[in-house]
């Protein structure tokens, strides 16, 4: 059933906080159901792109909370299906695009909570499989695309809560692995990530507690990654974040509390990076993000400096505080907040932006180039005691949009181009609500060259879906280039996976290089991206010899200087310093005394690109770690 749309479209000019009229910029309200109080709001959330459309969950006073779809226009926005008829809600969540359709979790009277699938039509929206017959439902969670399958946690009532997967049909939906025997539960859920050719998730058999598990897509290859906290107490891994060929996360271990961990996908390669807060208190790392080939995050050292900005290259000695933003023991961020995700960090134009709280400036937007000297306040928008409180940072058309605060207008939509002069509030003309973005609970969503979000600009309308367009022309672009080995001939590297990663560290596309090392991406939306080759494993022999060790020693004693990717290739023990220890390890590697380096097997120049037009011939240099002179010939 599709309900009739009874409200009119509000098409409003955007006004700047400073009073400038930008006629080309527009706000558009999608108020599909203009019901009177006490429930005028549709509470839109979980906006998810799928097959040229976006789906979301919304409420009205007749059908409750159900699944909606939009092509980006008011006329093309409607409820997909009343899955749980009447005012009762099916409460769609975990909306996930898979093989051109939307998979999601919903509840109905007959089947309880199960996985559903939709092509955007009422007839094409069906129950995937009644995994647990009856009204209790299988309580699915963590819908994750890995390879050719969609994985999730569920219980059929006979086995416990375990890992399931589907190829997208009823018959191909089955229990993938029974991690715990019989009716015991082995899948814990809450954190899942695709890491190269593996997927890492959280398991929790009774003898281990919540610990990291890994799968290669086979039952035999689905195992405990490492029992970080032996015994039944959980290590509770969280905040999985990929940096190059390593995965960082936080975990609780005996005697240290919650600290920063790293893994290369092996048991021996899964370990604590550094005990930042010595003792059992833990540094509680949060807001992890990849930036300039390292991990940046917030951590608490136990009181000397408070919670501040840190970075890590994966080694103890390479993990350090960037800057004591709030001098002394005070925190520059909310160490105890329950909504850490709202205070995210984001990368734009090779600069890291973050919310910071200081006595001198209050809550303002800061920026960092990754060095202490280059970490500074971006703009003190409200000098004195008034705070901007920037949060939900989102990149849209090469500007950062966020929810900001002022005493005059409360929570509103703001944006910045990275300068004080280019930081401004965007207000809807004639709005009458007290604090329009006060109820924002998830990040802004970019679709069809517009920014989408939930807001209450007009009290009579309540919390509704809004669309903002900055007036720039919509368009997509092509990107191509070559992955080369950094030797004298810059020879192309064949069969190398290359990920195109957006500013939120989300992989939006991938490609495999041709025999000549060429890669290409088409129909890429404008914005800031990084290109990341995924070179895992020592799948090339040769290239490391005594000449490399000698070059490292010459660099160490000052007879010559290594630079760029060659310097990165020399730091084989990942301590952020090139010295005689690196030369020794290189010698042991080519003489067969070592099989791998602590830093891994590969390094590459992280390539950032701002796509605003077709971009060609973008070169990505790659080296085997230890091959400092680039002698290998692919």
Could you read off the pLDDT of 399-432 as tens digits, one per residue?
999 999 999 999 999 999 999 999 999 999 889 9
Q: pLDDT at position 346, please? A: 94
Rounded Cα distance, 115 and 94, in Å: 10
The C-alpha atoms of residue 623 and residue 628 are separated, in whole angstroms, by 8
Share of the chain above pLDDT 70, in %: 92
Q: N- to C-terminal Cα distance for the chain?
A: 60
Q: Does the residue 234 lie in any domain?
A: no
Q: How confident is the model at residue 129 (pLDDT cuts 50, 70, 90)?
A: very high
pLDDT tens sequence across 233-249: 999 999 999 998 899 99
The answer to whether the predicted template modeling score (pTM) of the entire model surpasses 0.85 is: no
Average pLDDT over residues 218-229: 96
**Would the pLDDT of 10 be above 50?**
no
Is 80 exceeded by the pLDDT of residue 540? Answer: no
Say what the pLDDT of residue 336 is. 53
Bridge pairing between strands 362-368 and 375-379: antiparallel
Report the pLDDT value the prediction gives residue 513, as an integer from 0 to 100: 84
CATH number at residue 505: 2.60.40.10
pLDDT band at 474 (very low <50, low <70, confident <90, very high): low
Q: Are 364 and 381 in contact (CB under 8 A)?
A: yes
Number of domains within the chain: 1
* Residue the block writes with tokens 């009447």: 86
pLDDT for the residue numbered 514: 82
Check whether 33 has a pLDDT greater than 90: no
CA count, 13 A, side-chain hemisphere, 18: 8
**How many of the other CB atoms lie within 10 Å of CB of 3?**
14
Q: Are 623 and 566 in contact (CB under 8 A)?
A: yes
Q: Do the Cβ atoms of 454 and 438 come closer than 8 Å? A: no
Residue 595 located in a structural domain? yes
Model pLDDT, residue 486 = 85
214 within domain boundaries: no
- pLDDT computed for residue 323 by the predictor: 97
Q: Answer yes or no: is 614 within a domain.
A: yes
Percent of the chain with pLDDT over 90: 60
CB 9 within 8 A of CB 28: yes
Residue that wins the pLDDT comparison between 613 and 232 = 232
Concatenated DSSP letters of 58-119:
EEETTTEEEEEEESSSSTTEEEEE-SS-SSS----EEEEEETTEEEEEEEETTTEEEEEEES
Q: What is the pLDDT of residue 496?
A: 84
What pLDDT is stored for residue 367 in this prediction?
97
CA 559 vs. chain centroid, Å, equals 43
Q: For 35-44, 106-115, 483-492, which range has the lowest pLDDT when averaged over its residues? A: 35-44
Q: Which of 80-94, 96-110, 534-548, 573-587 has the lowest mean pLDDT?
A: 534-548
* Measured distance CA(298)–CA(312) in Å, rounded: 11
**With 90 as the cut, is the pLDDT of residue 35 above it?**
no
Read off φ and ψ for residue 556, nearest 5 degrees: -65, -40
Average pLDDT, the chain: 88
* pLDDT tens digits for range 542-601: 778 899 899 999 988 888 888 888 888 899 888 888 999 999 999 998 888 888 888 888
In the predicted model, is pLDDT for residue 460 greater than 90?
A: no
**Can you give the residue range of the structural domain that contains 601?**
476-624
Q: Is residue 510 part of a domain?
A: yes
Residue 586 is assigned to a structural domain of this protein: yes
Determine the pLDDT at residue 539: 45
Cα within 13 Å of Cα(349), Cβ side: 11
* Cβ pair 445, 438 in contact under 8 A: no
pLDDT for 187-222, tens place per residue?
998 999 999 889 999 998 878 899 999 999 999 999
State how far the Cα of 218 lies from the Cα of 220, in Å rounded to an integer.
Answer: 5
Distance CA 40, CA 37 (A): 5
Asked whether residue 48 is domain-assigned, the answer is no
296-305, 369-378, 557-566, range with the lowest pLDDT: 557-566
- Report how far Cα 298 is from the mean position of its chain's Cα atoms: 16
Residue 11 — very low, low, confident or very high, per pLDDT cuts 50/70/90?
Answer: very low
Predicted local distance difference test score (pLDDT) of residue 146: 92
Tell me what pLDDT residue 16 has.
37
* Phi and psi, residue 63, nearest 5°: -110, -5
pLDDT (0 to 100) of residue 537: 53
List residues bridging with 96 in a β-sheet: 103
Residue 207 domain flag: no
SS3 category, 374? coil
Closest CA to 545 of 603, 486, 630: 630
Contact between 27 and 467 under an 8 Å Cβ cutoff? The reply is: yes
* Mean pLDDT, rounded, for 264-279: 96
125 is written with which tokens? 């929206």
């Amino acid at each position: 059933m599709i309900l009739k749309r009874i409200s009119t479209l509000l098409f409003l000019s955007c006004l700047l906080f400073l009073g400038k009229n930008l006629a080309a910029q527009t706000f558009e309200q999608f108020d599909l159901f203009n019901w009177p109080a006490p429930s005028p709001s549709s509470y839109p959330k979980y906006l998810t792109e799928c097959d040229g459309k976006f789906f979301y969950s919304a409420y009205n006073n007749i059908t409750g909370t159900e699944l909606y779809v939009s092509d980006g226009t008011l006329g093309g926005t409607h409820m997909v299906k009343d899955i749980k008829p009447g005012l009762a809600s099916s409460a769609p969540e975990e909306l996930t695009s898979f093989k051109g359709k939307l998979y999601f979790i919903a509840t109905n009277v007959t089947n309880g909570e199960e996985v559903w699938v939709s092509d955007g039509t009422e007839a094409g929206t069906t129950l995937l499989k009644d995994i647990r017959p009856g009204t209790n439902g299988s309580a699915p969670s963590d819908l994750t695309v890995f390879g050719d399958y969609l994985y999730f946690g569920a219980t059929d009532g006979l086995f416990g809560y375990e890992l399931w997967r589907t190829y997208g049909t009823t018959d191909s939906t089955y229990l993938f692995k029974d991690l715990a025997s019989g009716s015991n539960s082995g899948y814990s859920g809450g954190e899942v990530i695709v890491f190269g050719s593996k997927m890492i998730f959280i398991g929790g058999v009774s003898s281990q507690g919540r610990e990291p598990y890994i799968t290669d897509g086979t039952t035999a290859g689905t195992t405990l990654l490492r029992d970080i906290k032996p015994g039944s107490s959980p290590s509770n891994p969280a905040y999985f974040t990929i940096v190059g060929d390593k995965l960082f996360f936080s975990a609780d271990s005996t005697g240290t509390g919650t600290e920063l961990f790293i893994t290369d996908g092996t048991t021996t390669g899964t370990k604590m990076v550094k005990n930042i807060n010595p003792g059992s208190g833990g540094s509680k790392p949060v807001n992890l993000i990849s930036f300039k080939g390292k991990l940046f995050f917030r951590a608490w050292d136990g009181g000397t400096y408070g919670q501040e900005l840190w970075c890590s290259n994966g080694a103890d000695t390479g993990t350090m505080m960037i800057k004591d933003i709030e001098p002394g023991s005070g925190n520059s961020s909310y160490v105890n907040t329950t909504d850490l995700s709202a205070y995210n960090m984001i990368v734009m134009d090779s600069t890291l932006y973050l919310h910071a709280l200081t006595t001198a400036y209050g809550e303002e937007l800061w920026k960092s180039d990754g060095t202490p000297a280059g970490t500074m306040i971006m703009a003190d928008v409200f000098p004195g005691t008034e705070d901007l409180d920037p949060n939900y940072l989102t990149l849209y058309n090469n500007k950062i949009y966020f929810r900001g605060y002022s005493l005059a207008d409360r929570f509103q939509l703001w944006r910045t181009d990275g300068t004080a002069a280019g930081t401004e509030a965007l207000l809807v003309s004639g709005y009458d609500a007290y604090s329009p973005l006060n109820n924002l609970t998830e990040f802004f969503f970019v679709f069809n060259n517009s920014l989408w979000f939930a807001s209450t600009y007009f009290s009579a309308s309540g919390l509704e879906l809004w669309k903002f367009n900055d007036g720039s022309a919509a368009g997509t672009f092509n990107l191509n280039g070559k992955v080369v080995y950094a030797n004298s001939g810059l020879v192309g590297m064949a069969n190398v996976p290359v990920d195109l990663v957006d500013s939120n560290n989300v992989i939006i596309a991938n490609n495999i290089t041709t025999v000549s090392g060429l890669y290409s991406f088409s129909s890429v939306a404008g914005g800031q991206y990084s290109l990341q080759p995924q070179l895992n494993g020592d799948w090339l022999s040769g290239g490391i010899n005594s000449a490399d060790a000698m070059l490292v020693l010459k660099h160490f004693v000052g007879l010559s200087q290594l630079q760029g990717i060659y310097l990165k290739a020399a730091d084989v023990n990942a301590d952020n310093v090139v010295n005689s220890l690196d030369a020794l390890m290189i010698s042991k590697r080519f003489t067969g005394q070592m099989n791998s380096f602590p830093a891994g097997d590969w390094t590459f120049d992280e390539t950032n690109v701002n796509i605003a037009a077709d971009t060609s011939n973008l070169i990505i240099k790659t080296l085997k770690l230890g091959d400092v002179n680039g002698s290998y010939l692919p």
